Amino acid sequence: MNDQASKSRIYYTKPSITDLEVGYATDAARHGWGEHCYDYILRFESLFREHLGIKHAIATSSATGALHLGMAALGIGAGDEVILGDINWIASAAPITYLGATPVLVDVLADSWCLDPTAVEAAITPRTKAILAVHLYGNLCDLDALLEIGKRHGIPVIEDAAEAIGSIWHGRRAGTLGAFGAFSFHGTKTMTTGEGGIFVTGDETLYARALTLSNHGRARGETRQFWPETIGFKYKMSNLQAAIGCAQLERIEALIERKRQVFEYYRNALGDLPLRMNPEPEDTANGYWMPTVVVDRTVPFDREKLLAEFKAEQIDGRVFFWPLSTLPMFARCPQNVVSLDIYARSVNLPSYHDLTRAEQDRVIACLRRVLSGTS
């Protein structure tokens, strides 16, 4: 066997599953039916509320569903506009279109890769119904600035915290500062339920609306069986998924800490190279879901060459999100110069809980070779 064939594959991410998750899932499969069909869901929602320090939570089948549910509860609809950053995964923009509203794509900041508050304010029109603050790769949006803009214009700020479990803004966890927050528990995330998400809010009225919409339009307290008061959605998380999530939440602090350890090893090893990584401003914590490098524009860099080098070394490569305005379903936004500049100079690095230092060293060596031009 040659050296290449003997190298283990380094995935860009995968979940941490232990006997605890397997045990809870087995119990849900054996006993979680009939009158017990919601037991793990209710427990999961309670544990997540406690973790965040927020009043209300509705477990969903995806973060996309949680965003759709929350936006519908806010009354966003046809003809409305929602402002978000141009650099994002399409899952953030898609729910806006489901409601007949228009995503308005604005530029991001060069340091956080998240919404530029100045660009947000410039994009506000009479049709603007929300600002969608996406905490990209665990990096935090400037929530103080965005919330102030929202308050001044009477526009709610929504937190897409799908990638921000473990991130904290001035003492409060990501997802708890806006009108509502949405999280993802996809298999790539810091904690997982396989697929899944959750809607969270501290607003009692908004929660009541979202709860009704989440149950096919059936209101809480309705005594008539199968009586919806409006057309709603079916985004419920399954009891089996929630069982896995309960186990993950019992381990959540260790899962977050391990992500931070992986990131710190990369940052220390790559600190002398001409690149930037995920920031952690003063009085914040970054959950570092996806360690990311942005190579300085002064250095020749071919992203495709790095990806090919990764592939040759049995390392999964993952590109930085494309600007949404470069996709065929959205209008071009040449004014978003930061978004259009960053993505081609950036890659995500492998990051999962049992990633070894030897495996990280393989990633680091590969990146060094490409940046030095010796590959």
CA-angle at 107, arms to 119 and 338, nearest 5°? 130
The total domain count for the chain is 2
Write out the residue range of the structural domain in which residue 36 sits: 19-250
Residues 206 and 316 in one domain: no
pLDDT at residue 236 is higher than 50 = yes
Q: Distances from the Cα of 269 to the Cαs of 57, 307, 352, 353, in angstroms?
A: 39, 20, 17, 18
pTM of the model: 0.95
Could you report the per-residue pLDDT of 271-304, keeping only the tens digit for each?
999 999 999 999 999 999 999 999 999 999 999 9
pLDDT in tens, 182-197: 999 999 999 999 999 9
CATH number at residue 334: 3.90.1150.10
Boundary residue ending a domain (250, 269, 302):
250
Mean pLDDT of the region 5-25: 92
Instruction: Report whether pLDDT(1) > 80.
Output: no
Does residue 121 sit in the same domain as residue 260? no
Same domain assignment for residues 134 and 198: yes
Same structural domain for residues 163 and 303?
A: no
Residues 70 and 10 in one domain: no
Domain boundary among the residues 195, 215, 250 is at 250
- Do 309 and 212 share a structural domain? no
DSSP characters for 114-141?
SB-HHHHHHH--TTEEEEEEE-GGGPPP
How many whole angstroms separate alpha carbon 221 and alpha carbon 229?
12
- Pick the catalytic residue from 189, 236, 305, 311: 189
End position of a domain, from candidates 250, 276, 300: 250
Q: Are residue 204 and residue 65 in the same domain, yes or no? A: yes
Tell me, what's the pLDDT at 2?
A: 43
Query: Is residue 281 domain-shared with residue 166, that is, in the same domain?
Result: no
Same-domain status, 284 and 139? no
Q: What is the pLDDT of residue 144?
A: 98
The single-letter DSSP state of residue 347 is E
144 and 282 co-located in one domain? no
- Assess whether 189 carries a catalytic annotation: yes
3 — pLDDT class (breaks 50, 70, 90): low
CA angle 150, 152, 155 (to 5 degrees): 35
Confidence of residue 372 (pLDDT cuts 50, 70, 90): confident
* Residue 353 vs residues 61, 93, 273: alpha-carbon distances, Å: 24, 29, 25
Q: What is the mean pLDDT of the chain?
A: 96
Q: Could you tell me if 271 and 156 lie in one domain?
A: no
Same domain, 138 and 273: no
